[in-house]
Chains A and B, each alone.
Chain A
Amino acid sequence: MKTQIKNLLVAILFLLILKPAVVSAYYDPELGRFIQPDTVIPDLSNPQSYNRYSYVLNNPLRYTDPSGHQTTPAEAEPEREFEGEINREIRESQNINSRGEHIVTTEQRAQDIRELANSAAAMRMRGLDPNKTYIGPLETQTVGASAKAPKADEAASSAIVKFDAKFALQQGANPATVVPGPYAVVRGGQAPMPAAGTTFSGSMGATVPEAAAGVPHGTIRSTTAGAVREQGGSVVLAPEATRSGAINQSHVNVTEASSPTVFGPPAPNPVPKSERVQ
């Protein structure tokens, strides 16, 4: 009996001490994806590092990640393992040369840049500096609107952000397109709000003025992304080109699930006309 109790205590101690070091992000086998972003950006010079939902830079043939935080080269495979026509075809389909090195095609590079832009945009939305490395869950490092809010609000906002990420993944969406719950969302103009179920344009930002700069209207109605989602609706980041060719990074597609609207009454746009999107 004493031995059983001793073994049980050892097992509990093992789990308490070692589990946090081993589990860096949870993996949802149904989704086939990590449902939490990697808490560390290991290599700022590598665009693939900014995709914190990927495993070993999406190149498991070349790398391993025993710690969950740092991609490390796998042990060199004998050259003979890459021999043969079938293996050559596999290599080419995966853009790997005979030395096991990853070949970056123009198309892949363009994809990397798109992913980097998305991830950087996502970090900026959370008030984080894309050029810095953050230790710890990004959701808990959200600054800007929520940083000034009481702690209870922060917890609620964090819960919404986590829900958003999970929901986005379940829907097969890019998590970078999900607007954090505490962020302001505005609709330009004085016209009645579009009917529930209709997807319409809006603008998002960490603050109402930041969001209001993304519409040309002198009148706005505002709410938060969290309020739209609590109602069952959605707010999805969808940057669009303006007439000048510049990209309006704050454009969002909004769908309200029911009426009455969660957008407030019309109010003057606090942003001068010259500073709004053209």
Chain B
Amino acid sequence: MQYASIQYRDFYDVPRMFIVQFNGMTYLFDCPFDEREDEYSTHYSVFLMPPLDTADLTGDWRQLPTMAVQLIGKVLVSDVKFDASKRNAISTDIIGRLLKKSGGD
């Protein structure tokens, strides 16, 4: 199983928003808090992002989804496999499966 390092924000049980690089592309996983359900979403929305610079990643991340090139799809939070710390890396299998499903691979 291959892992790719992540940068994250909004940790609650797992990172609720994180950036990961895979095959030279940058992806944003976003699991926002659902006010109506009073709980975090059960899914991550996965976005293909343009190249992000340091200023983008050190500032406010709430606007990152609006910068996305496209929405690739959604994955269950429970389907994303993190490293033991849940803060450093994810298994890249989920990205591969998502790209295959969306026909983007």
20 A–B contact pairs at CB < 8 A?
A188-B12, A201-B12, A201-B13, A217-B39, A218-B38, A240-B10, A240-B11, A241-B8, A241-B10, A241-B11, A242-B9, A242-B10, A243-B9, A243-B10, A243-B61, A243-B62, A244-B60, A244-B62, A245-B60, A251-B11
Q: A188–B10 Cα gap in the complex (Å)?
A: 14
Query: In the complex, what's the smallest C-beta–C-beta distance from A154 to chain B, in angstroms?
Result: 33
Contact B11 A245 (CB under 8 A): no
Contact A189 B60 (CB under 8 A): no
Give chain A's interface residues, CB within 8 Å of chain B.
188-191, 194, 200-201, 215-219, 240-245, 251
| Chain A facing B: main interface SS | loop
Contacts between the two chains (Cβ within 8 Å), count: 41
How many B residues touch the partner, as a band? 10 to 19
The one of B8, B10, B38 that contacts A190, using a Cβ cutoff of 8 Å: B38
Q: A210–B58 Cα gap in the complex (Å)?
A: 27
Contact B9 A241 (CB under 8 A): yes
Give chain B's interface residues, CB within 8 Å of chain A.
8-13, 16-17, 33, 38-39, 58-62
Q: Which 4 A-B pairs have the closest CB atoms?
A: A240-B11, A201-B12, A216-B33, A243-B10
Contact A245 B61 (CB under 8 A): yes
Chain A residues within 8 Å of B61, by CB: 243-245
Contact A200 B13 (CB under 8 A): yes
Query: In the complex, what's the smallest C-beta–C-beta distance from B102 to chain A, in angstroms?
Result: 25
Q: Given contacts A190-B38, A242-B9, A245-B60, list 6 more A-B pairs with CB under 8 A.
A: A194-B13, A201-B13, A241-B8, A243-B16, A243-B17, A251-B11
Chain B residues within 8 Å of A189, by CB: 38-39
Please name the residue on chain A nearest to B8 by beta carbon: A241
Q: A264–B60 Cα gap in the complex (Å)?
A: 35
Chain B residues within 8 Å of A188, by CB: 12
Contact A219 B11 (CB under 8 A): no
Q: A194–B8 Cα gap in the complex (Å)?
A: 22
The one of A190, A200, A245 that contacts B9, using a Cβ cutoff of 8 Å: A245
